[in-house]
Structure 1
Amino acid sequence: MSYINTFIKVSPDCPVTSSVVPQYKTSNKPIHVIQYELLTGQPYQYTHEQLLFEVHIRHKNIPAEELALHRQQIWDALFSKSHACLRASALPKKYGWGVHYDAEGKIAIYGMETPEYERFVQSGQEITLLNGMRSRRG
């Protein structure tokens, strides 16, 4: 699902009080770490679908040669099934990052302690506000 002019707030049951850079201990980066790196490194570069695709490529370590030859097939296979939106990402659920989709559906993230985050939350009618999904029923 892709949004426009939408801000996903940190989940109500998020365990942190300010944003945290996600860490990992395995040899393969988890999806939320790749999301964090892409969205902080290139804010407003990716739409939801583009982000999903780029994360998939990196998470599965798809070689550049294979990508060059089979990009469309990889894209089609990935999107032949549904995917969760960023409301379900660990970034707003566990790490304190709000997610902004601009008028073109391009995405950036903002730490919950930042003035930008607060500006989005207080923006009123100009933007759709959604909560990140809870980690637990509650």
Structure 2
Amino acid sequence: MKDMNEYDTFIRIAEDCPVSEAVIPKAKGESKTIPVIQYEMLSNHPYRYTQEDVLFEVFAERNQISETERAAAREKFFSKGQPCLRTSSLGKRYGWGIHHDAEGKVAIYAVESDEYLKLMNDNSIAQCKAMRSKKA
């Protein structure tokens, strides 16, 4: 299986992100949305999870996959291509930059924070932007 994680990379907010200060995503009704699950994982546990962990945990939680079924489900999930965190609403809509460290572990930073600015100006790591929501 191909490694889908990023290393030493900072994903800045999208060019067409509608906010200038980061917004915490809110759940809609009873079920948590994808951005809510991603935000909770990454804000509560910075640099604990890889991109693959985040993508799969969101899928597993939304599809109510039990702990006993997770290993097989994860293998099947990654047997086909999955969108990376550049497509996450955290960077496209909510104003959160996503940093992947040297081990591929992920944390998020509010666009208005000093840490975001520091990462954005760090030439030792790869820089990219979250995907735009609309075509240019």
- TM-score category by the smaller chain? over 0.9
Q: Retained in 2: the 8 A contact 1:34–1:59? A: no
**Cα RMSD (Å):** 1.1
Which is helix-richer, 1 or 2?
1
CA–CA distance in 2 between the matches of 1:128 and 1:40?
22
Name structure 2 gaps, 5 residues minimum: none
**Which one-letter code corresponds to 1:99 in the other structure?**
I
Deviations 1:8-35 (A, max 9, x none): 0000000001000001223211111100
User: Deviation above 2 Å: which 4+ runs of structure 1?
Assistant: none
Which one of 16, 21, 25 corresponds to residue 19 of structure 2? 16
Deviations 1:91-117 (A, max 9, x none): 000000000000000000000000000
Question: May I ask how many residue pairs the two structures share in their alignment?
Answer: 133
Please, what TM-score do these two structures have when normalized by structure 2?
0.93
Aligned to 1:56: 59
CA–CA distance in 2 between the matches of 1:76 and 1:129?
29
**Which one-letter code corresponds to 1:32 in the other structure?**
P
Name structure 1 gaps, 5 residues minimum: none
Give 1:74 shift: 1.0
CA–CA distance in 2 between the matches of 1:72 and 1:22?
29
Q: Identity over aligned residues, as a percent?
A: 44
Q: Retained in 1: the 8 A contact 2:6–2:104? A: yes
Which one of 41, 45, 60 corresponds to residue 44 of structure 2? 41
Please, what TM-score do these two structures have when normalized by structure 1?
0.91
